[in-house]
Amino acid sequence: MLKKTPLAAGIAAFATILIAGGCAVADAGKTGKVDYTAMTPHELAEYLIFEANGGGFNLSQEMQEGGTARDRMQQDELQKACSIIGDGSPDAETAAAIRQAAQESIVYPEGGIQLGDWQRGRELAWSGFGYRVGHNYDDHDARPVGGTCYNCHQFATDRTGGNVGPGLTGYGKTRGTSDAILKYVYDMIYNPHVYFPCTHMPRFGASGFLDEQSIADIMAYMFDPESPVNE
Amino acid sequence: MFKKALLALPVALAMGATANAQAPEDVLQGLIDALPESIYLNQSEMNIMMMPDNPALWIAMDGEELFHTPRGPNNVSMEACDFGKGPGVLEGAYVELPRYFEDTGKVMDLETRIMHCMTEVQGFASDDPVVRNRHNNQSDHMQIQTYIAMQSNGMEWNNPLDHPLEKAMRDAGEVLFARRAGMSDFNCYACHGQSGKRVRASQLPNANVPEEWSKAISWPAFRVGHDHVRSSQHRVRGCYYQMRQPGMLAGSDASVALISYWTDLARGTPAILPDMKR
């Protein structure tokens, strides 16, 4: 779902970030004598992830979304375009392509954007469970996947949130629930690159991280007048 | 082990003093004095107060005994091992790792070099618990690693980049640091590109600020919340876990590349060894 999204076509033409070529690297691997110094940094990084001594990660582990760790480590076009050394911004052309591809990735619920159950949304916003792999694998049959929202945002102040992203305390109270603001928040959760190309925020809808119901519930936590976010 | 019962903590500090006159808490204080506004450096007054009694100092004492005792099928001590400055020379060795080693033709970090010493010099099998167990206070590995690392306390990070392989690994590490992948699209900048940021209650170090980054990479450190001494490799594993990316294999060239880059980022800033972290 996330890997081969419509992003590819839009961005590929504009991306200025090197897409690490594997040809020279793979050939070197077959000879049994690999010269790291003959590779570009990008080629070597890819080689170290996927090839060196069987790979630098536990690549055969199965992922919750299907496929293996090897698949999850593959970058899609957005991830490639936004892997910028020094954490700078993409150039204007790339940014425009990212925004357009993000817009095309967003799927709206049938019947329009709805607010769900704020109490469930509150727990989902708090939960850091889901999609972690490696040494302590998240079993999605055991618990619902959370949104990890509090990692970076403050909501109701009875629980401590991070400040990597903007504070969202009182969000609905100060902004109302017009169609425009609901669409904005839905878009931001689904694929925030539509407004902020190469933002650090995950694409919770486009990646399949959160399902439609969970997005509706988290939005209710932000907008419902009864929610402690809006006290 | 018997020494632990007899020696008081000042002796542990004196052991550190053979490498450097400063105690680890003094090194940290120097960084704070250089950057008093840093929330990350100032985040835990309690940890700073507890550093003279850092449990890692005891762990290191066990490591000292293990290091100097002939062990393994070959019955030799680790004094025969070269950590980059000649056999048995530990002073300042750790802050100049990872580095290229002629005998393996590889760039190695402290953890992989200790494993190399255990298997190639002391003759332990690679699946021996001595070699395999690497994560806890009780592991030989963490005890030895902490002992070796603290012989570089207060010295400036200075991993060499003269050899082409050292440079190649550092540059690949820079790419890995910026590489976004996985369910959350995260790279290392997601948490380590700005100052004054928190994930929930945890203050995050900024990789672009050497004072903060020096503390960030000062492993081994006693992690209070874990009640264990932890390594650089353990930190790397935890970061990839939180990024929803697959488990990086400890000792892989990918992990050494990343650690080469993150050490380079702290170049010229003194190391806090052992440190104490939340």
Distance from CA of B235 to the nearest CA of A (A): 13
Closest alpha carbon within chain B to A39: B168
Minimal Cβ distance to B241: which of A42, A48, A136? A136
In CATH terms, is domain B22-273 a member of 1.10.760.10? yes
Q: Which position has the token pair 């150039």?
A: A91
Report residue B25 as tokens: 């808490």
A16 pLDDT above the threshold of 50: no
Say yes or no for a CB contact (<8 Å) between A41 and B254: no
B9 pLDDT above the threshold of 70: no
Chain region(s) in chain A for CATH 1.10.760.10: 118-230
Which class in CATH covers the domain with range A118-230? mainly alpha
pLDDT value of residue B6: 43
Q: Any catalytic annotation for residue B239?
A: yes
CB pairs under 8 A between A and B: 165
Query: Angle, nearest 10°, between helix axes B55-68 and B9-17?
Result: 60
Handedness of CA B190, A184, A75, A149 (dihedral sign): positive
Chain B contact set for A2 (CB, 8 A): 183
What percent of chain B is modeled with pLDDT above 70? 93
- Domains of chain B: which residue ranges? 22-273
pLDDT value of residue B21: 76
Chain-centre distance for alpha carbon B140 = 15
> Is A196 in a helix, a strand, or coil?
coil
φ, ψ for residue A62, nearest 5 deg: -80, 140
d(CA B2, CA A4): 61
Say yes or no for a CB contact (<8 Å) between B255 and A56: yes
B31 pLDDT above the threshold of 90: yes
pLDDT value of residue A32: 59
Report residue A13 as tokens: 């033409």
Distance from CA of A160 to the nearest CA of B (A): 6
d(CA B176, CA A44): 10
CA dist B161 → A38, B94, B210, B219 (Å)? 16, 15, 18, 21
Distance from CA of B105 to the nearest CA of A (A): 11
How many other β-carbons are positioned within 10 Å of the β-carbon of residue A211?
13
- Report pTM: 0.91
d(CA A189, CA B83): 49
Minimal Cβ distance to B249: which of A57, A73, A203? A57
pLDDT value of residue B108: 98
Shortest CA distance to A37 belongs to which of B113, B170, B254? Answer: B170
Residue A166 near residue A196 (C-beta atoms within 8 A)? no
Complex prediction ipTM = 0.92
Minimal Cβ distance to A162: which of B176, B185, B200? B200
